[in-house]
Structure 1
């Protein structure tokens, strides 16, 4: 990864915007949309983030250096080499946000990837997320154990599940799902032999299993580019190793 993706909460906080043209206006509107308060460089001591939108390259670089010396993280329009952070192209299904970033390589590419996703992801995603948030305590009460809870949610949200995010009315199905039978602890072991180091050669089943696995036991020859397709919190161990007694374990062997 070229960057660590983060969502920064700025509601009620000042964010410096340097510039007075259309580009600066767009940055100020984005700050306001996220609940922040655009301010001038003179108020930098109150802020943690800054946007520099100046056409003059020298003026932009000078402003960025001043703000960085003041301890702010700075984004400079069209100057990725001066940026502490970059702005992704955003798909908004409030409270769901999907961010597409190219690390400043091509804003146009990020935009068109986001437009493709706009056509795929339903407007109802936001309602489903809000309903799940409101039901958080009930979900914890029904599934007190963290691993069991995560597996129950995974099963409900998967394709064809009770809360399939792409299914119409999924937000209205949360109550019915919570009133259903408690999910039983499921133990599964899936064994895959990979013949390629290219993660694009993973089958849909393999990629989905990695994304859901609690434990990944892998041949030492399996490359990192494949292993990072697993959940970030999945347990990883090189083979030989014994699968745990519960949860989904994925075995990856190199053919």
Structure 2
């Protein structure tokens, strides 16, 4: 799928991208945006209503996402506000924001699902959101044409230790998996979406894969593949 086709697929699913983002976004940026779409799909499947916004109250006329790591409180970027009927708790889904880890060091999250109250605290105080108080789930996106090397895996294990193993997933497509598979029947993205859906339902940590040690402990997960073909999400308000 070409870059132009990716843009059209994302716009068909969630709304019109801003001209600046359309012009400047590369394939890796669009890969992250497509994973954001999967997170929105999971939120909707869990019964949530999604508002794509830049100010927290009105719909964004055109979607502009981060293309580089940034502070949650800075910049005029689009994020998703998710509301669930009958619940006071709300979630936010962001691209490319820093999250404070257990060592008090800020780490980038390619896709972050954050508790709304913690995100509001971040905006009011110009401070990074805390993983221990507000991080629901984090996705590390790797848009590689080949399988990531050992160093990437080690870096992800370090990140998952900082942000919480049950909250972190790494996602890459590899040579055998195009960025947008034609079939979603057996796509790993479908399984990842199911996990996101489960964690959104619980408004807590995601169910993750068994640890490599074979102890049966739940640990961080690394998944391979590209997002499933996108479809229009009717509850996403962006116009």
TM-score bracket, normalised by the shorter chain, equals under 0.3
Q: Which of the pair is proportionally richer in helix?
A: 1
Answer 1 or 2: higher relative contact order, Cα 8 Å, separation at least 6. Answer: 2
Mark the structure with the bigger radius of gyration. Answer: 1
TM-score, normalised to structure 2's length? 0.23
